[in-house]
Amino acid sequence: MSISNLIKRILALLMLVFVNIAYADVVVIVSAKSPITSLSADQVSKIFLGKSATFPNRKPAYPIDQQIGSAVRDEFYAKVVHKDSSQLAAYWAKIIFTGEGRPPKLIVGDKAVVKTIADNPDAIGYIESSSLNHSVKAVLVP
Amino acid sequence: MQKKYCLALLLSMSAGISSAWADQNGASQNEVAAVTDQTMFEFGSYGTLGATHASLNSADFALDAPMPSGAGRSNYLSLSNNSLIAAHVNATFTPDLTAIFQVISEYNSNGNYRPEVEWANFKYALTPDLDIKVGRFALPTFMDSENHDVGYSFVWVHTPFELYQQMPIMSVDGASAIYHFTLGDAENTVKLIAGQNTTETAVGIVNSKNMRGIFDNLDYGQATFHLGYQRRDTSTQSELAGFNEAWVAASDLTAGFSYDPGSWFFKSEWLQDRTQYKTNAMYASAGYRIDRFTPYLMHSQSSAASAFDNTLPYLNMAQKSNSVGVRWDFMKNFDLKMQYVHITLGNNSTGYLVNIPDNVTLSGKTFHVISAVVDFVF
């Protein structure tokens, strides 16, 4: 291996480390009162895209979105749903303008999301892991 | 006068206070909102502004069957081919009873932009898994039939016309049952439809009655499968000839597949249309997403209609096309698309061209169509 290749590899590794630091860690949460303990990325994705109206236990699921353009939202959709903001907007354009459904309810900020979800065993949302407290539990760490 | 009134209606609907799009935009922010709260009326709008050039001077390339003129012989640059605007209302009366109303203004068979009712239906959830729809709703022949006018919802400039123009009936006035169930890890939706339709085309009015259809959509991971079968009795009222043709039984079988893991996509659909003739059509398309850009390729083709009964005249719209294009999501709720399409007409075929003079033979001709459009949603 030549020196220049080695340097390139080290730089690539360093970039990876920095990118990981720059990313906040998103966690998917439900109320501490909910019987759900864990969900797969596919199950969460279906609930947030309106393809499934229920949790795997057939109980109704009410997804809660965060502010468009927020880091936590972009990370959630990139890691769990594999869509960026414009792909997501294109997806909902199809659903809304055919009357097939509506996007998740929007609540701004981790604090408000945690508070709402703590009180609603049917709700599901996502926050940064640092905002976790005893009133909610993480069901997916993507 | 009527035009002005309709325009004012469209504008006032678009300028509604509560936007169907608003929930996605962060307009409703109530920290202690109950998760099930819904506003009763939501307004939205979508549209496309586009310009099209076709390398033809002996005929017009028109995007939709009802358009009386397009790019080519009539216009060097056609602004009517892709341009449209729609206003949409979503009503939630109770969690189980919802309704939609949508009007759309686009270039039509009368050569104007008079708005028409695209959708108007009530939906009632009998159970969490079973919905009933009554009114005017979309005929889900293809994977993008229901949203074929919402340019922002797909990557191409328009839906593949070799396939979508084989079945120009886009809506049903009638009833539909929609049943949703889970199959292991897959989500499955079955739609049953029954009703009738009247569609204006450039050559006359096509009436359809006794429409019946069954459509299945299966989502499994990043893959989607679509299957459909429908039948109807149709009759063409030719304004030029001034007569009603007899009712003819028609049926369509459709299949579609798409795979979209996020950074790229593949999509392909197929149709067989049966009247006195049998026509096949298909397309396959793939694209790759690089940041805000999505370059894509598409191949699309329709066969000549082969007669089941040899005494019938030959009907021929066969053509093949290859497209290359790019979608650029340049700002929130807007995209810009550019597309180059190379079209080859089949033997004795006039494809989907309009305004062809009597003395012109187009058989086997090749030409290209270049389009640029901006799509938006509000």
Confidence of residue A32 (pLDDT cuts 50, 70, 90): very high
Chain A residues touching B26 at Cβ < 8 A: 67-68, 106, 108
What is the distance between the alpha carbons of residues A53 and A43, in angstroms, rounded to a whole number? 11
Q: How far is B289 from chain A (nearest CA, A)?
A: 10
pLDDT digits (tens, 9 = 90+) for B9-32: 444 444 444 566 544 444 344 444
Q: How many domains does chain A have?
A: 1
Averaged over B337-352, what is the pLDDT? 89
Q: Give φ, ψ of B35 to 5 degrees.
A: -70, -15
pLDDT digits (tens, 9 = 90+) for B171-228: 999 999 999 998 888 999 999 999 999 988 766 788 999 999 999 999 998 999 999 9
- Give the model's pLDDT for residue B232: 95
Task: Evaluate if residue B289 carries a pLDDT over 80.
Answer: yes
Task: Evaluate if residue B242 carries a pLDDT over 60.
Answer: no
Helix then strand then coil, in percent of chain A rounded to 5, is: 45, 20, 35
| Residues 44-63 in A contacting B (C-alpha not used; CB under 8 Å) | 46, 51-54, 60, 62
B311 Cβ contact partners less than 8 Å away, ≥ 6 residues apart? none
Tokens at residue B82, please? 């892709």
Task: Evaluate if residue B348 carries a pLDDT over 90.
Answer: no
| Of the partner residues A54, A65, A97, the one whose CB lies closest to the CB of residue B102 | A97
> What burial class does residue B141 get, using C-beta atoms within 10 Å of its C-beta: 0-12 exposed, 13-18 middle, 19+ buried?
buried
Averaged over B291-320, what is the pLDDT? 79
Instruction: Return the CATH number at A92.
Output: 3.40.190.10
Q: How far is B204 from chain A (nearest CA, A)?
A: 27
- Give the model's pLDDT for residue B74: 85
Would you say residue A113 lies in a domain?
A: yes
What one-letter code names the amino acid at A17? V
SS3 letters across chain B: CHHHHHHHHHHHHHCCCCECCHHHHCCCCCCCCCCCCCCCEEEEEEEEEEEEEECCCCCEECCCCCCCCCEECCECCECCCCCEEEEEEEEECCCCEEEEEEEEEECCCCCCCCCEEEEEEEEEEEECCEEEEEEEEECCCCCCCCCCCCHHHCCCCCCCHHHHCCCCCCEEEEEEEEEEEEECCEEEEEEEEEEEEEEEECCEEEEEEEEEEEEEEEEECCEEEEEEEEEEEEEEEECCCCEECCCEEEEEEEEEEEECCCCEEEEEEEEEEECCEEEEEEEEEEEECECCEEEEEEEEEECCEEECCCCCCCECCCEEEEEEEEEEEEECCEEEEEEEEEEEECCCCCCCEECCCCCCCCCCCEEEEEEEEEEEEC
Cβ distance B20 to A53 less than 8 Å, yes or no, reads: no
Domain coverage including residue A100: 24-140
Q: Does A120 touch chain B (CB under 8 A)?
A: yes
Averaged over A81-101, what is the pLDDT? 91
Its ipTM equals 0.85
Q: What is the DSSP letter of A138?
A: E
Cβ distance A93 to B25 less than 8 Å, yes or no, reads: no
Mutate to test the interface with A, among B13, B28, B35, B374 (most CBs of A within 10 A): B35
Q: What is the DSSP letter of A27?
A: E
pLDDT digits (tens, 9 = 90+) for B248-262: 899 999 999 999 998
β-strand pairing of A105-106 with A62-65: parallel
Domain spanning B46-87+122-377: which superfamily?
Porin (2.40.160.10)
**Domain locations in chain B as residue ranges:** 46-87+122-377
- Give the model's pLDDT for residue B19: 61
Task: Evaluate if residue B140 carries a pLDDT over 50.
Answer: yes
Question: Any idea which of A1-15, B204-218, B232-246 has the lowest mean pLDDT?
Answer: A1-15
B121 closest CA partner among B111, B135, B140, B142 = B135
Q: Does A103 touch chain B (CB under 8 A)?
A: yes
Closest residue in B to A113 (Cα–Cα): B31
What is the distance between the alpha carbons of residues B350 and A100, in angstroms, rounded to a whole number? 37
- Give the model's pLDDT for residue A139: 95
- Give the model's pLDDT for residue B135: 97
Which value, to the nearest 10 degrees, does the dihedral of the CA atoms of residues B240, B246, B249, B253 take?
Answer: -10
| Of the partner residues A94, A103, A123, the one whose CB lies closest to the CB of residue B153 | A94
Cβ distance A87 to B44 less than 8 Å, yes or no, reads: no
Alpha carbon separation from A92 to A102, B65, B152 (Å, rounded): 8, 27, 10
Angle at B17 between CA B16 and CA B22, to 5 degrees: 100
Between these two residues, B56 and A2, which has the higher pLDDT value? B56
Size of interface A-B (CB pairs under 8 A): 126
Task: Evaluate if residue B166 carries a pLDDT over 90.
Answer: no
Would you say residue A13 lies in a domain?
A: no
Q: Does A83 touch chain B (CB under 8 A)?
A: yes
Confidence of residue A31 (pLDDT cuts 50, 70, 90): very high
- Give the model's pLDDT for residue B328: 97
Task: Evaluate if residue B153 carries a pLDDT over 60.
Answer: yes
A113 Cβ contact partners less than 8 Å away, ≥ 6 residues apart? A29, A64, A66, A107, A125, A126, A127
Averaged over A9-35, what is the pLDDT? 71
